[in-house]
């Protein structure tokens, strides 16, 4: 009996061992486990393969892990796809086209008339195109090409390991929460015939009906308002009926520029009461104030990781304050230079607005391009605006022109010589019924892009965005007049 037991036990142990190692052999586990390998798709460049091999050099994979590239036209939400880059379509700064179809994008790339670059390399010296009416800096999930690294494995542990290794090496890209959008618009004067129209329609939001939603879609929205609010407003003076404040609030206006030469037309009391009104509504002001010291105070903006110093001056036919009374901020070259250089020393983006002498070409009801060139007979507008860029300003904007003027890249900045009328009653001449609106986009303290929009109004006095074909013609005309 003992001999039988002595034989059975070894046989049992041998059988157990054979089973144990047999299972491992056929399942490739335990002693016979084959380690997982890093597998690359053919489209992955050799340099990237070498990088990932180094990254995974100390990793022990349970199963094969495949890495492959994929580029899509819409953002993905897959947990196993890691965003490597966002590629945007750009064109020449002066290209009048703003939107193209996906097929046109392919053709432009083939003809080298447009380029695909990382959104992190984008700056305001080139023009970002929207694709099929999707503008990446507004949408963030389309209007670009999204480059992904896809991870494939039968092992959830390997996928988790891969994400832990790769994720810290990935770059961050602009999102809604990190990109500051700031819209600058032109001349606003809710006055004269607009007061008469208000009496007729009974509701001031009539004037913002077609443009208000667009204006308030930005984080910050600016306009240069020339008229104070007062009960003394009539259909013949540049004063605004008190109800007209609803035009600004219904359009999400956050910043009112006060460099205009008509803000004192309604008197000192009306000007002061208007400043009180803005303050009560949390509307910021720049380029004007209760006295000369208040008027010259820069507007400092700090949002979403970007610091902006906004300066605004009056170099015009009146309206400035030089004492203890309200008015616009008078332009003095030495002060402007000092303020710009101080802001740049802080690392701020600097925007400078100027209420300059108006160029008037109102001789007929037909198109008159005289003012397009920003060549005012009253002085050297081009020279003054360029000097502000030389001082260090990033963007210089003319906010006095009732007729839109040209724009240009100059030095390290960009100049928009005159934006034209956003809200006003000048319907007699085609040039006064149009304006440019500048949509600035900032990311990590850098001006990524300024997107141009065109607005127009007619006898209804209701501004709206220009149709695409009209806007292409408009920009082409302005480009022909640049210095």
Domains of the chain: 38-169 (no CATH), 179-480 (3.60.21.10)
The single-letter DSSP state of residue 141 is S
pLDDT higher than threshold 70 for residue 16: no
Residues 6+ apart with CB under 8 A from 28: 34
Highest mean pLDDT among 27-31, 294-298, 369-373: 294-298
Percent of the chain with pLDDT over 70: 92
Other Cβ atoms within 10 Å of 98 Cβ, number: 20
Among the residue ranges 120-129, 139-148, 276-285, 357-366, the one predicted with the least confidence is 357-366
Residue 14 pLDDT grade (very low, low, confident, very high; cuts 50, 70, 90):
low
Band (169; pLDDT cuts 50, 70, 90): very high
Higher pLDDT among residues 10 and 291, named by residue: 291
pLDDT of residue 76: 93
Q: Which residues pair with 38 in a beta bridge?
A: 65
pLDDT of 451? 98
- Is residue 401's pLDDT more than 80? yes
Rounded to an integer, the average pLDDT of 197-226 is 98
Q: What is the pLDDT of residue 378?
A: 75
Q: Calculate helix-pair angle for 156-166, 46-55, nearest 10 degrees.
A: 110
- What confidence score (pLDDT) does residue 366 get? 81
Residue 22 has pLDDT above 90, yes or no: no
- pLDDT, tens digit, for every residue of 79-112? 999 999 999 999 999 999 999 999 999 999 999 9
pTM of the entire predicted model: 0.91
Strands 349-356 and 65-74 come out as unpaired
pLDDT value at 18 more than 90: no
* pLDDT value at 21 more than 70: no
Going by C-beta distance under 8 Å and a sequence separation of 6 or more, which residues neighbour residue 113? Answer: 91
Q: What integer is the mean pLDDT of 41-54?
A: 94
Percent of the chain predicted with pLDDT > 90: 86
Q: 349 in helix, strand or coil?
A: strand
Confidence (pLDDT) at 143: 97
Q: Which residues pair with 112 in a beta bridge?
A: none
How much is the pLDDT for 5?
56
Higher pLDDT, 362 or 233: 233
State mean pLDDT over 192-198. 98
The helix-helix angle for 381-391 and 333-345 (nearest 10°) equals: 30
Is 435 a residue whose pLDDT tops 70? yes
Q: State the DSSP string of 307-343.
A: EEEEEEEEESSS-EESSSS-EEEB--HHHHHHHHHHH
């Amino acid at each position: 009996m003992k001999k039988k037991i002595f034989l059975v036990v070894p046989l049992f142990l041998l059988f157990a061992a054979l089973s144990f190692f047999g299972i491992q052999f056929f399942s490739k586990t335990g002693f016979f486990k084959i380690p997982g390998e890093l597998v690359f798709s053919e489209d992955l460049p050799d340099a990237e393969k070498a990088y990932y091999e180094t990254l995974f050099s100390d990793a022990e994979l349970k199963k094969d892990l495949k890495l492959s590239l994929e580029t899509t036209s819409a953002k993905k939400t897959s947990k196993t796809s890691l965003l490597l880059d966002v590629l945007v379509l750009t064109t020449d700064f002066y290209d009048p086209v703003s939107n193209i179809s996906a097929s046109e994008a392919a053709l432009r790339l083939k003809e080298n008339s447009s380029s695909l670059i990382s959104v992190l390399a984008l700056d305001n010296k080139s023009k970002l195109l929207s694709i099929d009416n999707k503008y990446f800096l507004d949408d963030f999930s389309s209007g670009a090409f999204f480059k992904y690294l896809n991870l494939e494995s039968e092992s959830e542990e390997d996928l988790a390991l891969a994400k832990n290794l790769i994720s810290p090496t990935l770059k961050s890209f602009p999102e809604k929460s990190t990109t500051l959008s700031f819209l600058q618009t032109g001349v606003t004067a809710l006055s004269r015939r607009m007061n008469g129209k208000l009496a007729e329609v009974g509701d001031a939001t009539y004037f913002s009906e077609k443009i208000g939603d667009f204006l308030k879609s930005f984080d910050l929205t600016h306009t240069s308002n020339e008229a104070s609010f007062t009960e003394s407003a009539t259909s013949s003076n540049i004063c605004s009926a008190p109800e007209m404040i609803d035009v600004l609030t219904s359009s999400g206006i956050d910043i009112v520029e006060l460099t205009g030469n008509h803000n004192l037309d309604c008197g000192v009391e009306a000007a002061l009461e208007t400043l009180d009104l803005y303050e009560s509504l949390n509307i910021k002001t720049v380029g004007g104030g209760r006295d000369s010291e208040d008027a010259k105070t820069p507007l400092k903006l700090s949002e979403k990781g970007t610091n902006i110093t906004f300066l605004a001056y009056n170099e015009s036919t009146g309206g400035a304050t030089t004492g203890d009374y309200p008015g616009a901020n008078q332009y003095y070259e030495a002060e402007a230079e000092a303020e710009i250089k101080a802001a740049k020393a802080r690392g701020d983006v600097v925007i400078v607005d100027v209420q300059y002498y108006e160029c008037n070409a109102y001789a007929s009801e037909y198109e008159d391009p005289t003012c397009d060139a920003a060549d005012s007979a009253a002085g050297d507008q081009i020279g003054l605006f360029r000097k502000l860029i030389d001082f260090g300003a990033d963007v210089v904007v003319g906010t006095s022109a009732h007729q839109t003027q040209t724009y240009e890249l100059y030095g390290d900045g960009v100049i928009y010589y005159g934006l034209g009328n956003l809200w006003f009653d000048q319907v007699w001449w085609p040039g006064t019924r149009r304006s440019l609106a500048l949509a600035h986009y900032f990311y990590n303290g850098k001006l990524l892009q300024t997107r141009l929009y065109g607005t127009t109004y007619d006898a209804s006095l209701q501004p709206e965005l220009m149709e695409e074909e009209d806007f292409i013609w408009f920009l082409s005309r302005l480009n022909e007049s640049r210095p």
